[in-house]
Chain A
Amino acid sequence: MGELKVLNGGGEVAVTTRLSDLLQWARKWSLFQYPFVTACCGMEFMATAAPRYDIARFGAEAPRFSPRQSDVLWVVGTISQRQGPVVRRIWEQMADPKWVIAFGTCASCGGFYDNYTTIPGVDKVIPVDVYIPGCPPRPEAVLDALMLLQEKIQANDRKPIVVPPKLVPERAPGRTVKGKS
């Protein structure tokens, strides 16, 4: 949470920060999600949402099946041309501030559906904040995306970002985990 100053004088303690920082801090830890789940990535999304990986740790576990009550639109799976107007309309119905996560390769760029049926990435229709590569992505990548989104919210940064790949330490001995430290 931004810059925190602790003032301690005569037994009284006060903490100062900027109001916008406090607001962003509150937002990033209470992300209500709208899961727009259309394809097989949904299985991995369910795994992430379930207790083993537990996105409740990030305050992002509450699904709201009304776009008017949700903060994050999870686009999980292939978006066909026919669904384009639907996902666009749901995004338009969400109240600001709102964020979009493209979950998996199909939602990010169309995946291997390079033909008349599929929108090549949901960002052709709505702006996306975080892209998660993978077919499907592992739950760890999804949690990485969520943490990236939290960082973006705290920094008030709307530039799109792709979850970076990581090396699994035990499979690449002697190498450290790449990506963010």
Chain B
Amino acid sequence: MSQAVVDRLRAQFGERILETSDAFGDHEVRVAVKDWVDVARCMKDDAELQMDHFIDLTAIDYPERQAARFDVTLTMRSSRNGARIRVRTQVRDGEEPGTLSGIWAGANWAEREVWDMFGIKFKDHPDMRRILLYEEFVGHPLRKDYPIDKAQPLVPYREESEIVKLPPFGIEEGQPFARIDWESRLAGRDYQVSPSIGVQQGQRRTLSDSEAAEQIQARIEARMAREAAEASEETSKEGSGE
């Protein structure tokens, strides 16, 4: 059913459809940012496609990608013929795709959420404000370079030394993911979530902040070394093949 949509778009836009895929039955087309609004409007207005149901618009951050850091995806469906399709475009940091809020009213808040979480602005949007976070918030938390443990409290936290809590509440309350010993967790030795609970039950000792940082750094370095080794292996293979 959705293949018909892809064919129709190919007929309409030709070379402007950069790429198509149908992994696991999910049909997807990729377009350039400049064609973003045109393709969406065609989907909505075309007598054959009639994509009248806006499902979602969101973004994905690929910080390692040099050319265009973000993918913005639009998922939609036709209530007339049941077709479902996803449109994707690659956006540079600071680049502004056109707004779709004039086509589907539902895109208004979805685009505000993308601005809030990823810092992608949409050109000609009627109300480009944060939607979930507060105006005082600095940065965009779903960017992968946003520090995982960085909170920005609106009220300064109380600092009173007489607060004494029993485990599992205390200094390491909550689930400090950075302090979890992922190596042993992955090896199946440790399923505890909270370090304090782990210590209480004698499962393992708690990692201090500096130890956790060292471990994370070591893991990053090991992964980079492994990837470099794999890359050099591949190039040597290619060289011998030719």
A interface with B by C-beta (< 8 Å): 81-82, 84-85, 88, 108-121, 123-127, 131, 133, 159-160, 162
Contacts and interface: CB of A to CB of B under 8 A. Distances in A.
B196 to A, nearest CB: 10
A120 B173 contact: yes
Contacts of B155: 84-85, 88, 125
Contacts of A131: 165, 169
Interface in B130-152: 133-134, 141, 146, 148-152
Report which residue of A112, A124, A131 has the largest number of chain B beta carbons within 10 angstroms of its beta carbon.
A124
B174 interface: yes
Given A81-B152, A114-B175, 5 more contacts: A82-B134, A109-B173, A121-B173, A121-B174, A162-B165
Chain A interface main SS type: loop
B178 to A, nearest CB: 9
20 contacts: A81-B152, A81-B153, A82-B133, A84-B153, A88-B155, A109-B174, A111-B175, A112-B193, A114-B149, A114-B175, A114-B177, A118-B151, A119-B151, A120-B174, A123-B158, A125-B155, A131-B165, A160-B163, A160-B164, A160-B165
Contacts of B150: 116
Interface of B: 133-134, 141, 146, 148-155, 157-158, 160, 162-166, 168-169, 173-177, 193
Nearest to A115: B148
Chain B interface main SS type: loop
A116 B158 contact: no
A127 B158 contact: yes
Contacts of A133: 168-169
A162 B163 CA distance: 12
A113 B168 CA distance: 15
B154 A85 contact: yes
Nearest to B179: A114
A111 B174 contact: yes
Nearest to A165: B166
A101 to B, nearest CB: 14
Contact of A114 (B157, B158, B162, B174): B174
Nearest to B170: A109
A110 B173 contact: yes
Contacts of B165: 108-109, 131, 160, 162
A107 to B, nearest CB: 11
B168 A84 contact: no
A110 B149 CA distance: 13
A81 B134 contact: yes
Given A116-B141, A116-B150, A116-B152, A124 B157 contact: yes
B153 A112 contact: no
B149 A124 contact: no
A112 B177 CA distance: 9
Contacts of A160: 163-165
